[in-house]
Amino acid sequence: MSEQDLIYLLEDERDLAAVFRRELEAAGMAVSYFQRLSDFRAALEQRAPSLCIIDLGLPDGDGLSVLGNRLGDAGVPTVVVSGRGTLDDRLKGLEQGADDYLPKPVEPAELVARVRSVLRRSRQSAQLAKAPANQADRERIAEFSGWRCDFTRYELTGPDGVVQSLSNADAEILKAFLNASGRVITRDFLLECLFASGEEPFDRSVDVRVSRLRKKLNDNPKSPNFIRTVYGAGYVFASPVVWLAG
């Protein structure tokens, strides 16, 4: 690494944080430690880190409050490490914008491996976003129902002009939907898209990604305008799509 990765570690258990910090620094990363959510928020205003590791149950708030718009839209990858370890807890964290979720207790070596994996995927997305468009990048911009998605920049722009960043995995899933507008896409195909993005899917990965996309698109799952569930078959993207040259 030409530049040292800066990790923000938000954890209220000092002893555990010390173990995590020691392991991360031994792996060549710089670590800034925060015990309180308020201090963590203030640091984010001053400088964006390479990645955040956050606990959820904190003395002055819930770590979930900084996921999504606060970190996801800013393009800061996040790994949740929490005592909330049920499947519902993990799904909620991932749906809110976490890139990975580790229930406690977690081995420090595994945490470092997960952090490296998330950083690697984040860099790949950033490199693709900065790459200049060429002939091979044709039809990388899609427009639908007032929305615009630029796959060269990993950006989703709403009818109100608000721009949201997309992770590599979210972009691959959305691209699959847009390419097959009006046709049913199976869950197995979407899983293949996740594998292609470099993600390590688990049983509910497709559900999580679809939920995240619906949230970004302000799409009510009970009465969706875009991503509709076809029970027993998969999903269908219901809006017409126009592809433009990148």
Encode pLDDT of 92-147 as tens digits: 888 888 888 999 999 999 999 999 988 887 776 665 455 444 444 445 899 999 99
Q: Could you tell me the pLDDT band of residue 192, with boundaries at 50, 70 and 90?
A: confident
Residue 135: predicted pLDDT: 40
Q: Could you tell me the pLDDT band of residue 194, with boundaries at 50, 70 and 90?
A: confident
**What is the Cβ-side half-sphere exposure of residue 105, based on CA atoms within 13 angstroms?**
3
Q: Could you tell me the pLDDT band of residue 203, with boundaries at 50, 70 and 90?
A: low
Who's near 201: CB < 8 A, 6+ residues apart? 191, 194, 195
Tokens 């952090």 map to which residue? 115
Residues listed for the chain: 246
Tell whether the model's pLDDT for residue 246 goes beyond 70: no
Mean pLDDT value across the chain: 87
Q: Could you tell me the pLDDT band of residue 211, with boundaries at 50, 70 and 90?
A: very high
Looking at 95-99, 104-108, 163-167, 221-225, which range is the least confident one?
95-99
Q: Which residues of 73-100 are buried (b: 16+ CB within 10 A; e: fewer)?
A: bebbbbbbbbebeeeebbbbbbbbbbbb
Q: Could you tell me the pLDDT band of residue 11, with boundaries at 50, 70 and 90?
A: very high
CB 104 within 8 A of CB 15: no
In this structure, is the dihedral angle defined by the CA atoms of residues 209, 213, 218 and 219, taken in order, positive or negative? Answer: negative
78-82 and 51-54 beta bridge pairing: parallel
- Paired strand residues for 185: 235
pTM beyond 0.75, yes or no: no
Across residues 76-103, what is the average pLDDT?
A: 89
- Paired strand residues for 141: 150, 244
Residue 125: predicted pLDDT: 60
Residue 76: predicted pLDDT: 87
Across residues 141-170, what is the average pLDDT?
A: 93
Residue 137: predicted pLDDT: 45
Domains of the chain: 6-129 (3.40.50.2300), 135-244 (1.10.10.10)
Residue 173: predicted pLDDT: 92
> Counting Cβ atoms within 10 Å, is residue 107 exposed (0-12), middle (13-18) or buried (19+)?
exposed
Across residues 172-176, what is the average pLDDT?
A: 92
Compute and round to an integer the Cα radius of gyration of the chain: 18
Residue 205: predicted pLDDT: 82
Phi, psi of 16 (to 5 degrees): -65, -40
Gap between the Cα atoms of 70 and 244, Å rounded: 30
C-alpha 100 chain-centroid distance: 8
Residue 187: predicted pLDDT: 85
Gap between the Cα atoms of 138 and 85, Å rounded: 43
Gap between the Cα atoms of 182 and 41, Å rounded: 42
Q: Which letter does DSSP use for residue 5 in this model? A: P
